[in-house]
Amino acid sequence: GESVGLHLPTLSVQEGDNSIINCAYSNSASDYFIWYKQESGKGPQFIIDIRSNMDKRQGQRVTVLLNKTVKHLSLQIAATQPGDSAVYFCAESVLRGATNKLIFGTGTLLAVQP
């Protein structure tokens, strides 16, 4: 899951297993959510998004689940591969005045063991 502090939570999985990365978001009024992947030395890369009128969305090997009741978001990666090793973080879109702003989580490090 996500947390503040200097050390990222780490999820270690075996190659070929499924991974589930969790995120607790802060604002019950948030209406749009994004998952990003950040590899070492690179910028955040968009993976998948979901709007609040949905509770599940699937992409290629990835699924995002949204539970608005408990303000929880998860990213499921099927058949995890070594190239999936990275930091994953969620972002929520919050309306501030007339503009939507993204609020980013701190991230989870996914370590894929061969």
Q: Which of residues 61-100 bind other proteins (CB under 8 A)?
A: 89, 93, 99-100
Q: End-to-end alpha-carbon separation of the chain, Å?
A: 23
Under the criterion CB under 8 A, does residue 101 sit at the interface with other proteins?
yes
d(CA 38, CA 104): 13
| Of 14-22, 43-51, 60-68, 72-80: span binding other proteins (CB under 8 A) | 43-51
The tokens describing 55, both together, are 């509770």
Query: Of these, 65, 78, 94, 102, which contacts other proteins (CB under 8 A)?
Result: 102
In three-state secondary structure terms, 80 is: coil
| Of 6-14, 54-62, 66-74, 75-83: span binding other proteins (CB under 8 A) | 6-14
Q: Least distance to other proteins from the beta carbon of 114, Å?
A: 26
On the 0-12 / 13-18 / 19+ scale of CB atoms within 10 A, 22 is middle
| Cβ atoms within 10 Å of 86's Cβ, excluding its own | 21
Site for other proteins, rule CB under 8 A: 4-8, 31-32, 34, 36, 41-46, 49, 51, 89, 93, 99-107
